[in-house]
Amino acid sequence: MSPSGTDRRARLANARLYLVCDAHGDGRDLAAFLDAALRGGVDLVQLRDKHADDDAILAAAPAFRAAADAHGALFVLNDRPDLVAATGADGVHVGQDDMPIAAARDAVGADRIVGLSTHTPEQVDAASAAGAAGTIDYFAVGPVHATPTKPGRPAVGLALVEHAASAPRAVPWFAIGGLDTTTIGAAAAAGATRAVVVRVLTGADDPEATARTLRGALEVRVGAA
């Protein structure tokens, strides 16, 4: 592993708050929004836009890359390992129904990050094993609550968060799904020390302050652990 791969994984290990955003910042000024969220404590930003073509993703990527670089954060691309090099992303996130994780790893190489979504206890345990094998670098657990960003995916509740927290895991994991300033505390109490968020920040009047509140809830859990 090169120094760049080691650095990415060190930053991932220290990450708490992960923002997923589309190519347009939900109608906001994208660069200003990302800067505010990162100032508030976001450690990872993911470009996820199921409706964007390759040109739109490539056009949006520099704003994500610049914001991440300005704040020492990581930039991850959703479901497009083939565009990771072209966008300058630090890695890729794939779902259970996307390409196999081994194929994603082969596509992005050893020095970039691969993340995986999980929705059941069996998938959580398999992801932890894949992390131990070096195939993935982190996984997401959820959706904890129903969310329109995952249509058709039923909420798993806090039980899956508790399962993920019930044993040491080989790689970092993040709770995801309907987490906001009113629900993040319960997820943290169930064992989550990291979280992925979308609408709570993209729809916030003050993304910086909201990110700071979310991160604070997670850090309370880290301090109690």
Q: What is the pLDDT of residues 174-210, one digit of tens each?
A: 999 999 999 999 999 999 999 999 999 999 999 999 9
CATH code, domain with 47? 3.20.20.70
Mean pLDDT of 17-30: 89
Name the pLDDT band for 27 (thresholds 50, 70, 90): confident
d(CA 142, CA 31): 28
In the annotated binding site, the residues are: 46-50, 78-79, 98, 117, 147-150, 178
Show binding-site residues for Mg(2+). 79, 98
Query: Tell me, what's the pLDDT at 223?
Result: 60
What percentage of residues in the chain have a pLDDT greater than 70? 95
Q: Which residues of 21-37 are buried (b: 16+ CB within 10 A; e: fewer)?
A: bbbbbeebebeebbbbb
| 150 has pLDDT over 90 | no
3-state secondary structure the chain: CCHHHHHHHHHHHCCCEEEEECCCHHHCCHHHHHHHHHHCCCCEEEECCCCCCHHHHHHHHHHHHHHHHHHCCEEEEECCHHHHHHHCCCEEEECCCCCCHHHHHHHHCCCCEEEEEECCHHHHHHHHHHHHCCCCCEEEECCCCCCCCCCCCCCCCHHHHHHHHCCCCCCCEEEECCCCCCCHHHHHHCCCCCEEECHHHHCCCCHHHHHHHHHHHHHHHHHHC
Position 121 scores a pLDDT of 97
Q: Are 215 and 16 in contact (CB under 8 A)?
A: yes
Q: What confidence tier does 215 reach under pLDDT thresholds 50, 70, 90?
A: very high
Can you give the pTM of this predicted structure? 0.94
pLDDT at residue 28 in the model: 81
pLDDT confidence of residue 164: 98
Total number of domains constituting the chain: 1
Residue range of the domain that includes 59: 3-224
Distant-in-sequence contacts of 208-212, Cβ < 8 A, 24+ apart = 208/36, 208/37, 208/39, 208/40, 209/40, 210/40, 210/181, 211/17, 211/19, 211/36, 211/37, 211/38, 211/39, 211/40, 211/41, 211/42, 212/40, 212/41
* 66-120 confidence digits (pLDDT tens): 999 999 999 999 999 999 999 999 999 999 999 999 999 999 999 999 999 999 9
pLDDT digits (tens, 9 = 90+) for 28-71: 899 999 999 999 999 999 999 989 999 999 999 999 999 999 99
Nearest one of 183, 186, 98, 95 to 140, comparing CA atoms: 95
Q: Which two tokens stand for residue 45?
A: 């930003």
Q: Would you state the pLDDT for residue 132?
A: 97
